[in-house]
Chains A and B, each alone.
Chain A
Amino acid sequence: MKRIALLGMPNTGKSTLFNRLTGSSARVANWAGVTVDLSSAKILLGGHIAEMVDLPGIYDLHGFSDDEKVVRHLLEGHPIDLLAIVVNATQIERQLPLVLQVRSLGLPAVLLLNMADEAKRNGVEVDCARLAAHLGMPVVLLSAKYGLGQVEAMRVLAQALADASDVGPARRAQLQAVLSDDVRIEQETAAMMAEAVTLPLQLPEQVSDRIDRLALHPWLGLPLFFLAMLLLFQAVFWIGGPLQQGLTWLFDQLRQLALEPVAAQLPDFFHGLLLDGVYAGFVTVAAFVPLIVLFFFFMALVEDSGYLARAAFLTDALMAKLGLDGRSFVMVLMGFGCNVPAVMGTRMMRARPLRLLSMLVIPLSLCSARLQVFLFIVSAIFAPMQAPWVIFGFYLASFLTMIVTALLFRGRFKSSEPFVVELPPWRVPTLRQVAMRGWLEVRHFLSRATRFIVLGVIAIWLLTNLPLGAAPGSTDTLAGQLGTLFVPVLAPIGIDEKLAIALMFGFVAKEVMIGAFAVIYGMSGDALSQEFARSMDWVQAVSFMLFTLIYTPCISTIATIKTESKSAAFATLAVLWPLALAWLTSFVFYQGMRQILA
């Protein structure tokens, strides 16, 4: 019985053709010398029964992937009377080299140009007679999907098989010669691997598996993950809180003991600009740096341990319902540190709609800059017992806005991105590694933030003190006039003109806002907190914070979204949608609470 082997690149419709030609008689069999099971079937060709084998799809006859080795070993070890080479006619230019490689084996061959229908639609025309003359083998155009050209293919295969003489010793020698180089390389690789490299064949039942059994537990996995994140935040504040207070005290001492005496000689204008503007604004922000540093270090710890990849596994099913996937969730978590690297992180997604939807959602995650603002206001307005719960509530609100956004926009950004992600083993992160990663993040963050903070607080001080002679921070100043412009829009959500100024500058970078409070109110430290508590009630404060949470990504994030999406229209959407959502959310909250509490 003669044997035909079906050979071609993956996804040329080779298996579809095999099924068409052989009907349902195919079975899976094990071939000597070959490690895999291959489908084969008996077919009737020109009055004779022949056996047809479906070889694994390969890109290169001389390649060293497992599939490529399988094909070579089969050709070497088993007599093949005819090779049927399947090529996707639309991609003939890229696939023809494989045909030439196969031809050099010296075995009788037939070229089957599949997907003729698609090729025709794409304007690919093949002159089969000419191609056949060049190749020295019959060429048939067909479409396995629709069964077009199948009769002709069967006829040509039968003819070629009848013409094929027995594979004599000369042919065998040519085949061996063509493949001998590959055989030598394979053997040499195997010899070197055996001598010099030890591969873990099957890793012993390791700790990693045991941790996974708990961390990826169907019921406990997700609650455990959120518990771990909660503990992480607790640790950040437990360690960072005292550091922040210490730093505030230190900055205060520095001002009173060193700066005030020196600056006393300066004219009033510069004294105010330098101390009440630059210094007060900058140190209010700088006091939060220990918290931010800790936050990034802990995030690096979680990421390097392999827990973030587990989070993708745990949340993928839920994220899929929002039109996102597990990786989007990981990016949202990264966004809690800073939105900018999180937006960049969406690069690993290939489908554009999925990337865009992720980029629309990520800026809603409560980044560390916004956290500073909330910590400041919450500690001024709420009792110490309530404060952690209020902050926790804002994280919930952050998630809710993301869910709403994804649900609203998932129809517009539909995608069918494959989700195939490596799950790294659990690792104990080394201190050095975490410190390095954490430090890189911190430096990145600080350089971005400081650039805007110094310029921001100077601009705010000038706006709140000019024109000369106006009472600082009053409605006569430039800032006061600007703020008044916003009153019609912001009054319904309980935000006054002073906070409006802070919001304007928060657009540049959110951490500028607390620097702005210091400058706008002309005080810092405890005095500023007391002024806050005096000038607004908790409903106003929460409304203001909700607005701050959602209203618009900072300039760095917007610039990153614009670069990553390469679309000004999308970047505009990423600014306008949160702005609308912020106002609506604050409006509903503020007016609703006023109704309830009235």
Chain B
Amino acid sequence: MLHMKSKNHLLSELIPGQEALISAVHADEALHHRLAALGFRIGNRIQLMRRGRWAGPLHVRLGATDVMLRQTEADLISVSPQ
């Protein structure tokens, strides 16, 4: 019933183009709700599209929704790369 999966990473550690499943969201309640509304939920598939220049925001895709978020917020989201 249990089988090992790849180790958990942070969303901010993905490389552009890489896909992953969200495994945890460590935000405070207000941000947690906001992230959930945009599709940042455990089990959802997420793809890093690109990073902004000069440590700019990350462009990610969740299903049909594209979202940009800063490195700081991306550090709150754990993913398991696929």
Scoring A residues 340 to 371 as 1 if CB is less than 8 Å from chain B, else 0, what string do you get?
Answer: 00000000001000000000000000000000
Those of B18-75 within 8 Å (CB) of chain A: 21, 23-32, 34-36, 38, 41-44, 49-50, 52-57, 59, 64-70, 72-73
**Is there a chain A Cβ closer than 8 Å to B12's Cβ?**
no
Q: A29-B4, A314-B52, A418-B31 are in contact. List 13 more A-B contacts (CB 8 A).
A: A11-B28, A56-B24, A57-B32, A65-B36, A67-B43, A212-B59, A313-B57, A314-B53, A314-B56, A316-B68, A325-B70, A418-B72, A419-B70
Scoring A residues 198 to 226 as 1 if CB is less than 8 Å from chain B, else 0, what string do you get?
Answer: 01100100000000100010110110000
Scoring B residues 1 to 15 as 1 if CB is less than 8 Å from chain A, else 0, what string do you get?
Answer: 111110110000000
Scoring A residues 304 to 318 as 1 if CB is less than 8 Å from chain B, else 0, what string do you get?
Answer: 000000001110111
Interface size on A, residues (CB 8 A): 47
Question: What separation, in Å, do the CA atoms of A317 and B49 have in the docked complex?
Answer: 17
Q: A418-B72, A419-B70, A423-B59 are in contact. Are A29 and B26 (CB under 8 A)?
A: no
CB distance from A455 to the nearest CB of B (A): 45
Cβ-neighbour of A10 out of B3, B29, B53 (below 8 A): B29
Instruction: Contact check, B70 vs A56: say whether CB atoms are below 8 A apart.
Output: no
Cβ-neighbour of B66 out of A32, A36, A37, A423 (below 8 A): A423
CB distance from B44 to the nearest CB of A (A): 7
Interface size on B, residues (CB 8 A): 45
Q: A312-B68, A419-B70 are in contact. Are A65 and B55 (CB under 8 A)?
A: no
Q: Which interface residue of B21, B42, B43, B65 has the most chain A CB atoms within 10 A?
A: B42
CB distance from B11 to the nearest CB of A (A): 12
Q: A313-B52, A317-B57 are in contact. Are A420 and B34 (CB under 8 A)?
A: yes
Instruction: Contact check, B41 vs A66: say whether CB atoms are below 8 A apart.
Output: yes
Cβ-neighbour of A31 out of B2, B28, B52, B70 (below 8 A): B2
Scoring A residues 411 to 445 as 1 if CB is less than 8 Å from chain B, else 0, what string do you get?
Answer: 00000101111111100000000000000000000
Instruction: Contact check, B80 vs A28: say whether CB atoms are below 8 A apart.
Output: yes
Q: A218-B53, A420-B73 are in contact. Are A56 and B42 (CB under 8 A)?
A: yes
Q: A28-B80, A31-B2, A65-B41 are in contact. Are A419 and B57 (CB under 8 A)?
A: yes
Q: A65-B36, A422-B38 are in contact. Are A317 and B53 (CB under 8 A)?
A: yes
Q: A11-B28, A27-B4, A420-B67 are in contact. Are A316 and B56 (CB under 8 A)?
A: yes
CB distance from B45 to the nearest CB of A (A): 9
Q: Could you jot down 22 A-B contacts, CB within 8 Å?
A: A10-B32, A11-B28, A11-B32, A35-B43, A36-B42, A56-B24, A67-B42, A199-B64, A203-B64, A212-B49, A212-B50, A216-B50, A216-B52, A216-B59, A218-B53, A313-B57, A316-B68, A418-B73, A420-B67, A420-B68, A420-B70, A423-B67
By Cβ-Cβ distance, the 9 closest A-B pairs, closest first, are A317-B56, A36-B43, A423-B66, A317-B54, A419-B70, A29-B2, A420-B69, A66-B41, A56-B42
Question: What separation, in Å, do the CA atoms of A190 and B56 have in the docked complex?
Answer: 39
**Chain B residues within 8 Å of A284, by CB:** none
Those of A463-477 within 8 Å (CB) of chain B: none
A residues whose Cβ falls under 8 Å from a Cβ of B: 10-11, 15, 27-32, 35-37, 40, 56-57, 65-67, 70, 199-200, 203, 212, 216, 218-219, 221-222, 312-314, 316-318, 320, 325-326, 350, 416, 418-425
Instruction: Contact check, A36 vs B21: say whether CB atoms are below 8 A apart.
Output: yes
Instruction: Contact check, B3 vs A316: say whether CB atoms are below 8 A apart.
Output: no
CB distance from B61 to the nearest CB of A (A): 9
**Chain B residues within 8 Å of A27, by CB:** 4
Question: What separation, in Å, do the CA atoms of A219 and B52 have in the docked complex?
Answer: 10
Q: Which interface residue of B7, B36, B52, B59 has the most chain A CB atoms within 10 A?
A: B52
Instruction: Contact check, B26 vs A420: say whether CB atoms are below 8 A apart.
Output: no
Q: A36-B42, A67-B41 are in contact. Are A418 and B70 (CB under 8 A)?
A: yes
Cβ-neighbour of B65 out of A10, A31, A40, A422 (below 8 A): A422
Question: What separation, in Å, do the CA atoms of A35 and B43 have in the docked complex?
Answer: 6
**Chain A residues within 8 Å of B32, by CB:** 10-11, 57
